[in-house]
Amino acid sequence: MALLAANPALFAAAAGLAGLAIGSFLNVVIHRLPLMLERQWRAQAADLEGRTPPAEAEPYNLATPRSRCPSCQAPIRGIHNIPVLSYLALGGRCASCRTPISLRYPLVELATGIAFAAVAWHFGFGLTAGLALVFTAYLIALTGIDVDRQLLPDILTVPLLWIALIASLWQSAGGAVPPAALRDAVIGAVAGYVFLWLVFQLFKLVTGKEGMGYGDFKLFAAVGAWLGWQMLPLVLLLAAVVGAAVGIALLAARRLGRGAAIPFGPYLAGAAWIVLMWGPAIKDRYLAFAGLG
């Protein structure tokens, strides 16, 4: 502990390595959590309609069954489950049947490792870095699930909000984020939810379409609780700018039909992470630029 506190580079390297392993776990969460929720919902729907819930062949959660190749069902051995390295060693193919493995798995591992190292380096050893790592892991899992399924599960967004609110009990006003000061966090949670809810209702009124989901409101509420209400406009601005740029690029590349739904969660999550890391710096620079600082 003292060693990590005294050596920022060592702390960043340790966090980066832990990030690779946690990225490997996040891959499991991204893939399995929506399937687990679907099972639950099917069982509940059957229950409501008075049918017998469909019998499930085997338990399915984050721990069981063991990871298998989706193509040949061969269990993935421990030696083939080392983040990034196994993918490279196997040439991106299943060890048994040589079916290509999605590049997404090593990319999520690598992104988590890099993000963890960056957070550790930026904040240094301490409570703030620990919280920022938790926030980062949640944002990556939510991004992956939203890209896959256009879904931001309550089982992730709600605890994310609670963790921030509880952590903010330990922050006095004006301190570095995270945790935000309790008052800023509570106002941030309410303002985040209500603001996107209002945008949603307005958009629906004007266009008759639903532009976002309730998961987006909850994620933005959590972001408000983590970063404080003061950072919400910046998060929204960054998310909108990046979202519009990617949307236009996809339209131009004809990868996307006009009016197709684009999940907003990944942009919110990405913007929230940028603001977590550089929000105060961006804000200071903007204020100085505007002649207010």
* Contact positions vs Zn ion (CB under 5 A): 69, 71-72, 74, 94, 96-97, 99
Q: What is the CA angle 250-23-68, rounded to 5? A: 95
Dihedrals phi, psi of 247, to nearest 5 degrees: -60, -45
State in angstroms the smallest separation of the CB of 94 from Zn ion.
3
Output 70 or 233, the one with its CB closest to Zn ion: 70
State in angstroms the smallest separation of the CB of 74 from Zn ion.
5
Output 99 or 201, the one with its CB closest to Zn ion: 99
Rounded CA-CA distance 116/118 in Å is: 5
Beta bridge partners of 68: 75
Output 71 or 150, the one with its CB closest to Zn ion: 71
If you search the block for the tokens 């620990």, which residue do you land on? Answer: 130
Rounded CA-CA distance 222/192 in Å is: 8
Output 18 or 74, the one with its CB closest to Zn ion: 74
Rounded CA-CA distance 112/143 in Å is: 12
Rounded CA-CA distance 20/110 in Å is: 6
Alpha helices by DSSP H, listed for 208-231, are 214-227
> In the chain, what is the straight-line distance between the N-terminal and C-terminal CA atoms, in Å?
38
Say if residue 194 is exposed, middle or buried (CB neighbours under 10 Å; 0-12, 13-18, 19+): middle
Could you check whether the bond before residue 179 is cis, i.e. omega within 30 degrees of 0?
yes
State in angstroms the smallest separation of the CB of 92 from Zn ion.
12
State in angstroms the smallest separation of the CB of 100 from Zn ion.
10
State in angstroms the smallest separation of the CB of 96 from Zn ion.
5
Q: Which of 167, 212, 213 is nearest to 189 (CA)?
A: 167
State in angstroms the smallest separation of the CB of 52 from Zn ion.
35
Output 8 or 92, the one with its CB closest to Zn ion: 92
Output 72 or 173, the one with its CB closest to Zn ion: 72
Q: Are 216 and 244 in contact (CB under 8 A)?
A: no
State in angstroms the smallest separation of the CB of 76 from Zn ion.
9
Output 18 or 95, the one with its CB closest to Zn ion: 95
